[in-house]
Amino acid sequence: MPSTSRRDALRLLGLAGVASVAGCSALGLDSGPNEQPPDALGTSWTPAADSWQFQAADLRNTAQSPHGVGTRPTVEWENHRPEDRLGPLLSGEVVAATPQRVIVAGEFENEFRLDAYDAVAGDRLWNRRVEDSSANYGRFGGLVDGTMYLAGSGAEVVAVDAADGTVHWRRDLGEHVASEIPGKYLSAPNSAADFPALFAATPEIVYVQSPYGIHGLSPVDGAEQWRVYLGRQTENPALEKPYGLAVTDRRVWASYGGRVRSLFAVGVSEDGPEVKRVELPLEFPSTPVATGDRQVALTHDVTWGTRPVETLAVGATSDGVEWQFPGHAGDGAAAYSPLATDGERVFACVSHEQPAQFVACAVRASSGKLEWLHRESLANEDVAVSAGREFRLCRPVVAGDTLLVGYGTAPERERGHGEVLALARRDGGVEWRTDLSVAPQDLLVTSSGLYVGGQQGSVLALTG
C-alpha cells in the first residue's frame, strides 16, 4: 500500500489547540523590501459556467456550480490509475473538468504526471510528466483560457496547454523572483531555493502567494510584473507557510500559518497598496473562501486529527474575525472537510470517533449562526474514524439547489468504498445518495455531469 502523501502527512495532525484572536491592524503604506506595487488588484473575470476550472471551482474558492444534480446519477465510466514505470503512485486528484476533458494529477516519488480524459467517453487523451519537488506537489493555479498553471520543480511555475499537454513556459521563482529579495524575507532558512508559493491565475495576471507576500506574474511568459510585501507588522520578516489565496473584485485575501496565523486583505487605493492583517484562531488556516468581496470564511487545513478542534469555522472581514462556529460536539479522533459556500451560507462536514456520525452543517455567512444540521450514524457502515489513513471526507460542493457531500474508506487504495449524498442546501433534507467504488476526495460539477476523484487518481463520471 502506498504511504501517505507528503501533502496529506502535513494535514494528518493531532491538534493540540489553537491561539486566541488578537485583533487586526492596518499596515503602513511605506514600501517594503524591493516592493514594486501594482496599479490595481482583484478581477471581475469569472470562469466559464459550464466548467470546473479551479480545485474549488473559482478564484473565490466557493466550490459552487450553477448546474444541479437533482436526481440520483449513475456511473457512465471510470478510470483507475494503471501500473506506471514511475513507481508507486503516492497521491492523485482531479484538478479540473470541462465539457470536453477531465484532468487528473498524480504524484510519484520524484515527479508528477497529468492525465487528460475525454469527459464523455472516458478515453485518455494525453499525459504529461512534470518534474516535481516534495515541497510543491498539489499546487494548481487553475485552468484559464486553455492553459493549466501548476507547480514544477523547486519553485517553478509551469504553464501547460490543456488541449494536448504541451508546456508553454516555465518560470523559476527562486531564480527570477526570490533572488531579488533579501534572504531573511523569503523563508525560515533564508534561502531562495526554499521558496514555497501558491498561485491563482486570471487572464490578466497570475497571482502568487509566497513567504514575502503577493506577486503578479504575466500569463504570457511568467515574468514578474509587481510584488507587495505583507510582513511589516509580524515578528519575523518572512511569513513562513502560505496556505492559500482568494481573489475577489477589488482585493486579494491570503492566509498564512506557522507562528503568523494570519489573514491578509490586500487592496490598492490612490495612495498605493492597502494591507490589513487579521490574526486567526486557527493553527493551520485553510485557503480563504470568499462569501463576498468584503468577507471570507476559513476552517482548519487538516483532513484528520487525533482530537476535535475547538473552532470548526470562522468568518472574517478586513477589520477582524466576525464570528466563530464551534461545530458539532464529539470525542476522540475527527475527520474534516474543506468549506463551500453559496454566498448566503457556509457549509462544512465533520465526523467524530464518538459518536460515530457523519455531520453536515450550514451556517449563515454573515453571522456564523447555525441554519441546519444533517447527521447520520456510521455505526453500521464499517467505518473507523479513529484510523486516519482509512477514512476521509470529501470537499462539499454546491450544485444548483443541492449540496453534495460524501465520505469513504480505504482512500489510499485504488478501490475502496464511498458514498455521495445530495442534500437540499436550504434545509439539509436528503434528496438522493449513491455508492461508489472509491473513497471520494474531489467532486467537480460541469454541464456534462458530476466527476468524482479518489486519492489514488481514480476518476468516475456520473450523469443523471
H or E, element range at 21: none
- Provide the pLDDT for residue 405: 98
Q: Domain locations in the chain?
A: 6-329
Contact indicator for 306, 348 with CB cutoff of 8 Å: no
CA distance 60 to 39: 21
Nearest to residue 238, comparing CAs of 208, 216, 259?
259
Digits of tens for pLDDT over the chain (464 positions)? 333 333 443 344 444 333 333 334 333 334 455 677 788 899 999 999 999 999 999 999 999 999 999 899 999 999 876 555 555 556 678 999 999 999 998 776 667 788 999 999 999 999 888 765 444 445 789 999 999 998 765 577 889 999 999 999 988 887 777 677 777 777 655 554 566 788 899 999 999 998 889 999 999 999 999 999 998 878 778 787 889 999 999 999 999 998 889 999 999 988 888 999 999 999 899 999 999 989 999 999 988 888 888 899 999 999 999 999 998 778 888 899 999 999 999 999 999 888 889 999 999 999 999 999 999 998 877 777 877 677 889 999 999 999 999 998 866 666 678 899 999 999 999 999 999 988 899 999 999 999 999 877 789 999 97
Contact indicator for 27, 298 with CB cutoff of 8 Å: no
Note the pLDDT tens digit of each residue in 219-269. Answer: 999 999 999 999 887 877 878 788 999 999 999 999 999 888 999 999 998
> Could you say which DSSP state residue 37 is in?
-
Nearest to residue 288, comparing CAs of 322, 243, 251, 326?
243
Q: What are the start-end ranges of the E strands in 162-261?
A: 167-172, 198-201, 206-209, 213-217, 224-229, 242-247, 252-256
CATH classification for the domain delimited by 6-329, as one of 3.10.310.40, 1.25.40.20, 1.10.287.70, 2.40.128.630? 2.40.128.630
One DSSP character per residue, 51-115 reads -B-STTSSTT---EES----S--EEEEEE-PPP-TT-S--EEEEEEE-SSEEEEEEE-SSEEEEE
- Provide the pLDDT for residue 188: 55
- Provide the pLDDT for residue 412: 64
- Provide the pLDDT for residue 409: 84
Phi, psi of 307 (to 5 degrees): -145, 155
Contact indicator for 19, 279 with CB cutoff of 8 Å: yes
CA distance 173 to 155: 5
- Provide the pLDDT for residue 11: 45
Contact indicator for 315, 321 with CB cutoff of 8 Å: yes
Contact indicator for 274, 42 with CB cutoff of 8 Å: no
pTM here is 0.89
Note the pLDDT tens digit of each residue in 14-29. Answer: 443 333 333 343 333 3
330 contact partners, CB below 8 Å, separation of at least 6: 308, 350, 352, 353, 354, 355, 357
Contact indicator for 216, 225 with CB cutoff of 8 Å: yes
CA distance 147 to 304: 33
